[in-house]
């Protein structure tokens, strides 16, 4: 399935967001483990198919939120469960904000002048609403 949010972006831009993630918080690297195998470096992680799949999963969640802007509550149960799953794999709530920063950085690079303060605020609000719901699940 192709994510509509990704259609807005040249293919190199999600890479910028990914690179930014480990620049912002190198401690996130050990959380991305597949089959109990830890990545030796951010570069190794960034090119792993499982990690790229996770990026796609994140973007699908964002895409679902954009599609349900007027009725985000219908995603509440899904997002709460997603928060719980992330707690189970050792993700801290603060780390969701780091992902948000990378997302905004990528959008800024992609949209250039069109990334006005209003657009930035709209994306921040959307992402924060997603994270708040994940956090509710993380805390229960
Ligand atoms: C699953 C890590 C943030 C969406 C996972 C998994 C890991 C993980 C280890 C399980 C393996 C996998 O499916 O790849 C992290 C870390 C994060 C983070 C370290 C923060 C730094 C997010 C955010 C979203 C998200 C912000 C969405 C907005 C998902 C989804 C799944 C997933 C949809 C699949 C859940 C399922 O299988 O039901 N994440 N994640 N993740 N993550 Fe994340």
Structure confidence by residue, pLDDT tens digits, 43-78: 899 889 998 888 889 989 999 999 999 999 999 999
Q: Which atom of ligand 1 is nearest to the CA of 60?
A: 33
Instruction: Note the pLDDT of residue 15.
Output: 58
Q: Kindly state if the Cβ of 105 falls inside 6 Å of ligand 1.
A: no
Answer for the pair 104, 124: CB distance below 8 angstroms, yes or no: yes
Q: 58-92 b/e with 16+ CB inside 10 Å = b?
A: bbbbbbbbeeeeeebeebeeebbebbeebbeeebe
Distance, CA of 128 to chain centre: 11
CA distance readout (Å), 19 to 48, 97, 121: 13, 15, 23
pLDDT confidence band for 18 (50 / 70 / 90): low
Phi, psi of 37 (to 5 degrees): -100, 125
Q: Which atom of ligand 1 is nearest to the CA of 25?
A: 21
The model's pLDDT over 88-131, given as tens digits with 9 standing for 90+, comes to 999 999 999 998 988 888 888 888 899 999 999 999 999 999 99
For ligand 1, atom 2, the nearest C-alpha belongs to: 32
Distance 96 CA to ligand 1 centre (A): 10
User: What domains sit in the chain, N to C, each tagged with a CATH number?
Assistant: 10-139 (1.10.490.10)
Per-residue pLDDT at 22 exceeds 90: no
As for the ipTM of the complex, it is 0.96
Q: List the beta strands (DSSP E) in the chain.
A: none
Q: Where are the alpha helices (DSSP H) in 36-89?
A: 42-46, 49-67, 76-88
Distance 57 CA to ligand 1 centre (A): 7
For ligand 1, atom 22, the nearest C-alpha belongs to: 58
pLDDT confidence band for 9 (50 / 70 / 90): very low
Per-residue pLDDT at 1 exceeds 50: no
Phi, psi of 8 (to 5 degrees): -70, -15
């Amino acid at each position: 399935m192709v994510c509509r949010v990704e259609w807005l972006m040249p293919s190199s831009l999600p890479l910028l967001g990914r690179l930014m993630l480990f620049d912002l918080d190198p401690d996130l690297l050990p959380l991305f483990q597949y089959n109990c195998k830890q990545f030796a470096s951010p570069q190794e992680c960034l090119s792993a198919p499982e990690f790229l799949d996770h990026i796609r999963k994140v973007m699908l969640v964002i895409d679902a939120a954009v599609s349900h802007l007027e009725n985000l509550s219908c995603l509440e149960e899904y997002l709460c469960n997603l928060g719980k799953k992330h707690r189970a794999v050792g993700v801290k709530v603060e780390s969701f904000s780091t992902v948000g920063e990378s997302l905004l950085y990528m959008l800024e690079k992609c949209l250039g002048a069109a990334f006005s303060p209003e657009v930035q605020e709209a994306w921040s609000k959307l992402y924060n609403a997603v994270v708040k719901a994940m956090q509710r699940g993380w805390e229960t």
